Structure 1
Amino acid sequence: MGSGNEPGNDELKEQALEMMEQSLAILYALQEPAAADLHDVIERVMGSSGKMGEEGEVWDSVFTDLPHLTMRALFLHRNDGFTVGQIARRLRISEADAAERLDHAVRYVRAPASPRI
C-alpha cells in the first residue's frame, strides 16, 4: 500500500467520502444506530475541526429534528468549512437544494432557545 500523498489519492478519498455520505443517508433512513459510527468515521477521514456552532446557536436537537441531508449540509458547512457548491457535490444534490437546506438549518439553530416539539 502506498503513502497517502500519491497522485490521485485526493480524488480517491473524495470518491470514498461521497460513497460514505450515501451510505450514511441510507443508514439514517433505516434508523440504524450504526449511522453514528459511520458519521464519526467520515469526520475522522475528513480531519474535521470539531467546531460545530457559533455563539447563541442551539444544536441540541439538530441530529434528531432536521432531515438528514439538511443536518449534513449544516455540519459540512459549520464543522468543515464547505461552500454551498462543495456541499452539493458531496451530498449529490443541486446547489439550489444545498443552499435551501443550509439556510433552513442555520435558521433552525439560530432560533431562540425554546422547547422543540
Structure 2
Amino acid sequence: MFDIILATTARCYFFLRRFMPMAIVIDAINTRRGLKWGVPAMLLAVPYAIAAVYFRAQVGEGGPGWLNLLVILCLWNTLKLLHIGPISLLKLMVVRIREARARRRMTRVLLGDGVESFDEPVHMTTQR
C-alpha cells in the first residue's frame, strides 16, 4: 500500500513540475541565464494578487465555494513569485563572485606561466 501511495505522489509531483506554468517559470529563473529575470518576474505577482482579490469578491457575493481553491492557488503563486526575486539576486551575486574568482585564478596561472598577453584569442595555425 505504501508503494502505491509513494508512486502516485512521485508521479503527481513530476507531472506538476513539468506542466504547471509557475514551476516552469521558477525552473527557468533558477538557471544561470535566468537569474537576472528574478526581479522582473516579481511583477507577475501583481496579476495573481488581483485575480485572488477578484475570486474572493466573487465568493463574498455568493459565488461557488470552489473559487476559494483558486484564491489559495493565486495567493500561493503570488508568494512564490515575490520570494523568487530576492533569492535569484542572492544566487546571481554568488555566481558572479565565483566567476570573478575563477577569472582571477586563471589570470594568475597564465601570468605565472609566462603568458604576456591573453586578451586576444590565440589561433593555432598548422605549418606545412
TM-score with structure 1 setting the length: 0.27
TM-score with structure 2 setting the length: 0.25
> Could you say which structure has the larger radius of gyration?
2
